[in-house]
Amino acid sequence: MMNQFEDFQKVGKETVDVAVKSFGSATKSMQAIATQTADYSKKSFEQSSAMMEKLAGIKTLDKAYEVQADYAKSAYEDFVSFASKVGELYTSFAKDSVKPYEMMVSKAQSVSK
């Protein structure tokens, strides 16, 4: 009876350890995503402010169109880059969060065999 209690206690401790590891991984990933988002937002705001300043000083419609087209192209490229980075971060977040549980499940499967 005492052995069963010790085994149950050991499994409980391992489960808590796995949850803590998963939470730590999630925290790091969310911080990285938040940092990327803040950096992108700051850069986007700076670029749009610079574009508005350029537009304010333009005298011809052709030049205004050119500045707007350049801005749109740059903004699109920056967004695609940002989305790719954040997508990679979310992918690694999912993999890292599940990894401790995978190890726990494989360990449980090997014990049950």
Cα 37 to Cα 86: distance, rounded to the nearest angstrom: 8
Instruction: Please compute the mean of the pLDDT values over residues 50-72 and round it to a whole number.
Output: 93
1 has a pLDDT exceeding 60: no
Instruction: Dump pLDDT digits (tens) for 68-107.
Output: 999 999 999 999 999 999 999 999 988 888 887 777 777 7
Distance CA 13, CA 104 (A): 12
Q: What is the pLDDT of residue 112?
A: 62
Percent of the chain, pLDDT > 70?
A: 88
Band (pLDDT 50/70/90 cuts) for residue 113 is low
* pTM score: 0.73
> How far apart, in whole angstroms, are the C-alpha atoms of residue 9 and residue 31?
33
